[in-house]
A and B are shown apart, each in its own frame.
Chain A
C-alpha cells in the first residue's frame, strides 16, 4: 500500500507512526499510574511504579529478543518463546532446586544464581537448537512444530521434577516460578534492567549488520558480513533477554510474536533501527494497557498472560493459514 510513496515520504510516515505510538504509550502509562488511586499516593505510585518498571524491562527484552530471533532465523513466525526457550529456562530453575536443594539456591546471591542459570540456558539452548537448526535447515514448519513439542515436553518435565521435590522446597520453587508483575523482586528488577540495557546497547551496535543479515545468509555473506558471528552474538543476546523476561514474570508465549509483526506492519519496514523501538513500545502498550483494561474494566488481577496467549494464539494461526498464499 505504501508503494506509491517516495523514500523521504515513507521516512516521515514512519517517524510519525513512532511518535504516535510513543504518545499513546505515555498516555497509557500515565493512566496506569494514576487511575483509581485511593489512599496514599506515595504508596500507590511506588507500587505501580515498580510494576510498570517490570513491564518496561520485559517489554524491551521480549521485543528485542523476538525481532533478533526472527532476523537470524529469517522468518517472521518463529520466536524464542515458540521454540521453547522460556520453558527451558523454567526447567533449568526447577532442576537447580531439585539437585542443589532449596537452601543452597535461596542462600546464593540472586545475581550469581541468575548468571549460572543464564549460562546453562545458553549452553543447552545452543547445543539443542544448533543441532536442530543444522539438521532441518530452512524447514520452518518442522522447526516450529519441534519447538512447540519441545516446549510442551519441557513443561511436562518441569512438572514432573517439581513433583519429586520435597514439599517445603517446592514452596521456594513456586516463588521462583510463579512470578508475575505483582510480585517482582526489587533486587532482581534492578539487575534485570541493567542487563537488558547492556544487551540492548550491544545489539544497537550490531544494527547495520543485522539489517544485512535479514536479507538472508547468502546475500549477507556476499555483501561481506560475517554471518556466523553476527548470528552467534544475536542468539547470545536472545538467550539473555529471554532468561531475564522469564525470570521476572514467567512465560508469555505470544507477546513477542504479536509486537514484532505488528511493528513491521505499522512501520512498513524491516530495518531494525525502526522495528526495535516500535516493537518495544507496542509491547509496553500491550502489557500496561492490557493490565489496565483487565483491572479496571473486568476487575481481574494477574491473568494478563492468559489473555495474551489467547489473542496471540489466534493471530499465530491466522499467520500460519495465510502465509502460503502470499
Chain B
C-alpha cells in the first residue's frame, strides 16, 4: 500500500460501508479551523491570574517570562497533546470495533486507568508519575482486553448495547476504585482523575505527555491498516492484512494514550467519543483523511473547554473535565438521537 498525502488518499478504498460520503468539507474549512485553533491557542496564553498581555511578549520582564515558560506554554502544549491524542484514540477505537459509540470513555478504559492509579498509590506509597503511568497502562490494556472479550461474547441486537455495557463496566471499576480509595483515604486521588484539570501542569511536570504524540503519529502511519481492519476480519485477511495484530496494535495505542492522559491530567468525559463522531459526520469515514482533522478538532475542543474553565469563575478555576462533561454529554445525547432518527 503506497502512502500518499492525506488529501489524495481520499481516492483509496475506504470503509465507506453504508455511510453516505459527504463532500461538504473543503480545504478552506480545514484552514479556517486551523486558524481558529491557532488564535484560540494564542488567546489561551493570556488567560490567567498573572499579568501577561500580548504586548509583553515582545519585551517580557523576568516574572512575565517565568509565567510564560513555566506555566502558560506548558499548559497550552499539554492541552493540545491530550486533546488531539484522546480524539485520535477514540477514532481508532471506533473504527476497530466498528461501532460509532465506542471510545476509551465508553469502554471503561478511563476507569481502569483510575483503578490502576489507586492501586499504584497504594502499593508503592506515593508512586512516581512514571510508576503510575506504567501501572495505568497495564490496567488500561487489561481493561480494554476484557471489554473486547465481552464484546465478542455478546449477542448483538443493537449497536448501543456495546457502549452501554462499556459505560456500566466503567461504573463497576470506578466503584471498586472508589471503595479502595475510601478505605485507604485516597478519595482525593479519585477526584483528581475523574475530573481532568490542567491547572497542575507546569514545566517539568507534564513532559511524559509528549509520549502520546508518538502514539498519535503511529496511529496516522497505520491509518490504512486500521481502515482495512475496520471492514471486518475476513475482508481484512483477504486483503492481506494481519487482522488480529492490527486490531491489537490499535487498541493498545488507544489504551496507552488514555492511560498517559488520565495519569497526567485526568479524564475529560466523552472527548474521545464526540469529537471523532462530529468529524466523521462532516467528512466521511476515510480514516487517513479524517485523522489529522480529528486531532485538530480534539485539541480545539479541549482548548475551548479549558479557556471556559479558566474564565467562568475568574480568578478561580474549574476543572476542565466538568465543562467537558457537560458539553460532551449534551453532544453525545444529540448524536444518539440523531443516529436513531436516521435509522428509523
Contacts and interface: CB of A to CB of B under 8 A. Distances in A.
B183 A160 contact: no
A306 B179 contact: yes
B156 to A, nearest CB: 8
A320 B325 contact: no
Interface in A297-326: 300, 303, 306-307, 309-310, 313-314, 316-317, 320-321, 324-325
A160 B323 contact: yes
A153 B179 contact: no
Contact of A156 (B150, B313, B325, B336): B325
B175 A153 contact: no
Nearest to A308: B175
A141 interface: yes
Grouping DSSP codes into helix (H, G, I), strand (E, B) and loop, the B interface class, with mixed when no group exceeds half, is helix
A148 interface: yes
A145 B165 contact: no
A135 B168 CA distance: 24
B326 A153 contact: yes
B153 A152 contact: no
B68 interface: no
Contacts of A310: 172, 175-176, 179
A100 interface: no
A310 B180 CA distance: 12
B160 interface: yes
B322 interface: yes
A160 B183 CA distance: 26
B322 A321 contact: no
A112 interface: no
A200 interface: no
Interface residues of B, number: 46
A164 interface: yes
A317 B321 CA distance: 26
B230 to A, nearest CB: 22
A145 B160 contact: yes
Contacts of A157: 325-326
B325 A155 contact: yes
A316 B161 CA distance: 12
Contacts of B179: 303, 306-307, 310
A149 B337 contact: no
Contacts of B321: 156
Contacts of A306: 175, 178-179, 182
Interface string A165-186: 0000000000000000000000
Contact of B336 (A145, A253, A321): A145
A160 B322 contact: yes
A136 interface: yes
Contacts of A313: 168-169, 171-172, 175
Contacts of A314: 172
B32 interface: no
B323 A149 contact: no
A57 B168 CA distance: 27
B30 to A, nearest CB: 29
Contact of B163 (A136, A145, A156): A145
Complex A-B, nearest 4 residue pairs according to Cβ-Cβ distance, in ascending order: A156-B325, A153-B329, A313-B172, A310-B175
Given A139-B340, A313-B171, A324-B157, 19 more contacts: A136-B337, A141-B157, A148-B164, A148-B167, A149-B167, A149-B333, A149-B336, A152-B325, A153-B333, A156-B321, A160-B325, A300-B183, A313-B168, A313-B172, A317-B172, A320-B164, A320-B165, A324-B154, A324-B156
